[in-house]
Amino acid sequence: DAGVTQSPTHLIKTRGQQVTLRCSPKSGHDTVSWYQQALGQGPQFIFQYYEEEERQRGNFPDRFSGHQFPNYSSELNVNALLLGDSALYLCASSHGATDTQYFGPGTRLTVL
C-alpha cells in the first residue's frame, strides 16, 4: 500500500514565475491538506480539500491556489513567486477531517 506521494522532489524557480506541485493521497483517503514549512519552523497550514472543494484555508494570499481531482489527488499552484516562498511544501492525506494525517516526503521549492 503506497503512502502519500509528492512530485517533484525538488524545484528551482525564479521570482515572478509560477509553480505546480502534485500530491497523491494514501489509498482510501479522501482529504488532502497542504502545509508550508520554512527552515527551522513548524509547518503552516495552507488549505484543505475534500470532495474536490476547498474546505478550509489558512492565512495565505490568493497567489496560493489548489485543486482536487475525482481520484482525490491534488495540486498546489503558486503564482508570482517571491523569495519568501522558498520552503518545504508538505502534503497530508486523511480519511475525514479529524482522522490521523499522513504526510508525504515533501517538495523542496527554492526561489531565486
Binding residues for another protein, rule: CB under 8 A, are 4, 6, 31, 33, 35, 40-45, 48, 55-56, 58, 88, 90, 92, 97-98, 100-106, 108
Q: ω before 8 within 30° of 0 (cis)? A: yes
Q: Which is nearer to another protein, 42 or 84 (CB)?
A: 42
Residue (of 44, 64, 43) closest to 54 by Cα position: 64
Nearest approach in angstroms of CB 68 to another protein is 14
Nearest approach in angstroms of CB 48 to another protein is 5
Q: Which is nearer to another protein, 42 or 70 (CB)?
A: 42
Angle, CA 69 vertex, CA 65 and CA 72 arms, to 5°: 105
Strands 10-13, 107-111: pairing kind: parallel
The Cα–Cα gap between 19 and 85 comes to 11
Q: Which is nearer to another protein, 11 or 88 (CB)?
A: 88
